[in-house]
Amino acid sequence: MANYRWEELKARHQQVRQLLLRQGSLKRLPRSRPRHPDEERLLIDIAVRRIRRARAEGRLAKIDARRWRLQFR
């Protein structure tokens, strides 16, 4: 079984992250806490409405059983 130096790995991770932040490689940090249930429900509703509208307008075409093609405007 391999021995890992967790403290060194953690310190190195922090150094790399700081370097990326300084360089501007990381513009926005990922979400660190879960979404509120109401917000999640609202986002799902918006996505479903977009899919339904695209299907109604003919911009979403079924290619295979599990493959779809969306034509952007």
Tell me the pLDDT tens digit for each residue of 1-58. Answer: 567 788 888 888 888 888 887 887 766 666 778 889 999 999 999 999 999 999 999 9
Q: Where would I find the H helices in the chain?
A: 6-23, 37-57
pLDDT confidence tier of residue 59, bands split at 50, 70 and 90: very high
The secondary structure of residue 35, as a DSSP letter, is P
The pair of three-digit structure tokens given for residue 49, joined into one six-digit string: 């409405």
pLDDT of residue 3: 77
In which domain, by residue range, is 61 found? 35-73
Give the type of residue at 65.
A
22 assigned to some structural domain: no
Distance CA 39, CA 60 (A): 26
More confident residue, 71 or 73: 71
Cβ-Cβ contacts under 8 Å for 62 (sequence gap 6 or more):
68
pTM: predicted TM-score of the whole model, two decimal places: 0.51
Cβ-Cβ contacts under 8 Å for 35 (sequence gap 6 or more):
43
68 assigned to some structural domain: yes
Give me the number of domains the chain comprises: 1
